[in-house]
Structure 1
Amino acid sequence: MRFFGHALHAEWVKLRSLQSTWNTLACLFGVGLGVTFLATSKVGEQYGSASAAEKLAWDPTERSLTAYLVAQLVIGVLGTLVVTSEYATGLVRTSLTVTPRRHRLLAAKVVLATAVAVVAGQALMFATFLIGQTLFAAQGVPSARLGDPGVLSAVVGGGLYLAAIALLAIGLGTIMRATAGALTTLVGIVFLVPGLAGLFPSWVQGVFDYWPTQGAAAVFATVPDPAYPDPWLNLGGMCLGVAAVLAAAFVVFQRRDV
């Protein structure tokens, strides 16, 4: 445990010394809050012209958390850079010399990135929720409070969703060792594959119940979706998939030369 603590401290020093870390975090909040403002600032006009059925299905919590669609890519960049930045500079060889037990080195990266992603993800989700509800109230549109049924669960679940995306990015970065390749794969997973879901055979369709931006994203909603009646189960399935990618990353990292 003492040696793992040293590895964790070393990773923290490296992470906080990278300018890209702070730039990415600043981008996460800047883009996330900006998207929230754009998505909620004109809702009053849309709600006023909505049908009775649309008003009945109105979910102010989910609407205020839509920034996750962009935020997941930014936090994916952060997760990827935890690993790929060392491959880009060649620092990975030094890290392996100092910490020759590869599983310990990668585990330290995963634990540190998880902590940062959870804090950043939760902070962003709470901020976007509060900003969105404030703008809704100002426009006379029904808003939500954290104490309302399902609201806190959706906000917290959103933060965990973003943390899971960061861990997925770490796994992809470890396997591919290149920022561009890992991010391209991440974009394909969260956007391209769901967009082509209708082209897959019926026996594959069940997988999408646990897919990012599909079943797992149901955790952001407070109005039940008949297609995804158990959003936390869907999110849990997504986390199991992320764990499988991380397990593959540990195996690959342990077996190859660098």
Structure 2
Amino acid sequence: MRLALHAEWTKMRTVASALWLLLGTVAAMVALSAVAASVVNCTASGCGGDTTKLSLMGVYIGQALVAILAVLIISGEYSSGMIRTTLTAMPRRATAFTAKAITLTGVVAVSGTVAVLGSVLAGRLILPDLGDQALSLSDGRTLRAVFGTVLYLILIGLLSLGIATAVRDSATSIGIVLGLLYIVPIITQTISDPDWQRLLGKIAPMSAGLTIQATTDLGNLPISPWAGLGVTAGWATAALLAGGLLLRTRDA
């Protein structure tokens, strides 16, 4: 496993697109969060909403870049034919796949942490009149939202890796992942039945997972924060199992 991890890390750090996507994730998340915080209408009594979630709004664009990175890690090898070299050097396909997942988890954890902390800092700087407590990491709910958002980004990366391994094609994989993340919530809003809306909110990977960011009005959520993140984890696990099984059973 050590050699497999070294090989995957070497491939990732020597590909320019991976570095730019990671840097783009940090920049995009902090920038969008800063813009969201700057345009909100605040009064002395507050901003009329969840300021922690507002400061973490950049995740809506950051997750797309993480998904693209995860897809390219495996589908790029299929398109170039390098996957044959990878599997020849590491005949145990499960080991090779696990190494990719661990490497992806590590880089997304680092970049995601920087992006999330930068977003919270931007919120504190732009919304200073609201007091520090709402955006203080000493507050349990805020800390849960920050830590959970990093975990969410990791899970989106693993979900994308699993789908890309199963599908192989970059464009198709990216389309499937982004559809799951963005189109399903849009469809949910077009449904008039509130029970169906609540059900889709509980099972969609983004809608459920991002409940981890909520720090106010928790009783009105379709699913509790940690349970919602567990739903996203279930999606990621299913995708990884499907991708790993197909990798082992079919030709490269």
Uncovered stretches (5+) of structure 1, i.e. residues with no partner: none
1:199 Cα shift? 4.0
Per-residue CA deviation, residues 205-242 of structure 1 (Å, 9 max, x unaligned), is 53531423312211111113312352101111220121
Q: Which residue of structure 2 aligns with residue 13 of structure 1?
A: 10
> What SS does the aligned partner of 1:196 have?
helix
Identity rate of aligned residues, in percent?
Answer: 29
- Given that residues 215 and 234 in structure 1 are in contact (C-alpha distance below 8 angstroms), is that contact kept between their aligned partners in structure 2? yes
2:112 matched to which residue of 1? 121
- Per-residue deviation, 1:38: 1.2
Looking at structure 2, the residues matched to 200 and 172 of structure 1 have their Cα atoms a distance apart, in angstroms, of 31
Offset, 1:203: 7.0
- Conserved in 1, the CA contact under 8 Å of 2:27 and 2:115? no
Q: Structure 1 11/148 Cα, relative in aligned 2: closer, same or farther at 3 Å?
A: same
Task: Tell me the equivalent position of 1:240.
Answer: 234
1:187 and 2:187 matched: no
Question: 2:122 matched to 1:131?
Answer: yes
Q: Give the SS at the match of 2:100.
A: helix
Distance in 2, Cα, partners of 1:129 & 1:136: 10
Number of aligned residue pairs: give it: 247
Task: Look up the equivalent residue of 1:243 and give its one-letter code.
Answer: T
Indicate the SS of the match to 1:257.
coil
For residue 146 of structure 1, give the secondary structure of its aligned residue in structure 2. coil
Q: Select the residue among 37, 48, 61 that pairs with 2:52.
A: 61
Q: Distance in 1 between matches of 2:113 and 2:181?
A: 20
Q: Distance in 1 between matches of 2:176 and 2:98?
A: 22
Instruction: Give the distance between the partners of 2:198 and 2:180, measured in 1 at CA.
Output: 15
Partner SS state of residue 206, structure 2: coil
Tell me the alpha carbon deviations over residues 146-196 of structure 1, each in whole angstroms, 9 at most, x when there is no partner. Answer: 112311111000110011001011011101112111111111101101211
1:117-140 deviations in Å (ceiling 9; x for gaps): 122112211110111111100xx3
SS of match in other structure, 1:28:
helix
Counterpart Cα distance in 1 of 2:214 and 2:95: 38
Matching of residue 257 in structure 1 with residue 251 in structure 2? yes
- Asked if structure 2 preserves the Cα contact closer than 8 Å seen for 1:176 and 1:182, the reply is yes
Amino acid across the alignment from 1:101: R
Query: RMSD in angstroms over aligned alpha carbons?
Result: 2.1
Provide the C-alpha distance between the structure 1 equivalents of 2:71 and 2:79, rounded to a whole number of angstroms. Answer: 12
* Structure 2 residues without counterparts, runs of 5 or longer: none
Counterpart of 2:165 in 1: which secondary structure? helix
Give yes or no for the alignment of 1:39 onto 2:36. Answer: yes
Give the Å deviation of 1:56: 7.8
Q: Specify whether residues 66 and 203 from structure 1 end up closer, same or farther in structure 2 by C-alpha distance, changes over 3 A only.
A: closer
One-letter amino acid of the structure 1 residue matched with residue 244 of structure 2: F
> 57-66 or 248-257, which moves further after superposition?
57-66
